[in-house]
Amino acid sequence: MASILVIGVGSTGLSAMEQAQQFYYEFTKKNSPGANNSAFLYLETDKNRLPKVTPNGGTDIKACFLCPQNIDATLNNWQGKYEWMPTTAQVLNTHSGAAGQPAFGRIALWAEEQSVRNIIQDLYNQINGNAQTNIYLVGSLTGGTGTGIFLDLAYLIRQITNNNNIYGMFMLPDKNNVGQTTKDVIYENAYTSLFSIDKYSKADTKTNTNYKCILPGGTDISNLSAPFYNVQFF
């Protein structure tokens, strides 16, 4: 049996993992196949959104919170280097989510890059990750956290694991269930996300669409491959 690593991003990713574990529990009385061949990681910018607690003490979903709080000097140093960077005052001292703004989610990932890198490496080692391991990135492409980090995260995972079996499973907006006040930003986030996936899935050195990014910690990622082996939208 191939090992799996499931990484849920934001509340949608958490909900998907919890429902998958509940479904598995109904048939096996276990949350997952086991720690030796499966691992679940939850990345979130809102510290109020926690994995559910069960009568047995909780699920085996490991949580990692991304928060730009208390990195004043770092954020000031980033100003002027990245055109998408919001002002420092907008992101400091917050731990209640990305508020539907992808830039906030991306900053949070960059601020916690080393923590994310370490936890992914640890979980990958825990399941004896190899070329047959399947990695699933699950979340929504409508909010700030998922939209802000899914692309960088996919390529970061590739670099950490040297694994090409990375699958995306993402929620898109339903036009019938989107209120007028939030419709514009939700559709903008979804559109830019789909555009990014399409662009980097056609990576070509001649058209300069290969993914290249130098993270603030010094990590230099350059990759001609598509971010995902396969993507499913819901």
**Within 13 Å of residue 49, how many CA atoms lie on the same side as its CB?**
22
Compute the average pLDDT of residues 39-64: 76
Compute the average pLDDT of residues 79-98: 63
Q: How far apart are CA 129 and CA 218, in angstroms?
A: 25
pLDDT tens digits for range 109-154: 888 888 999 999 999 999 999 999 999 999 999 877 888 889 999 9
pLDDT tens digits for range 195-229: 999 989 885 656 656 888 887 777 888 888 899 99
Which residue type sits at 4?
A: I
152 within 8 A of 193, measured Cβ to Cβ: no
Residue 204 has a pLDDT of 62
Residue 127 has a pLDDT of 93
pLDDT tens digits for range 154-195: 999 999 999 999 999 999 987 665 556 556 778 888 888 999
Q: How far apart are CA 103 and CA 101, in angstroms?
A: 6
Within 8 A by CB and 6+ apart from 206, the residues are: none
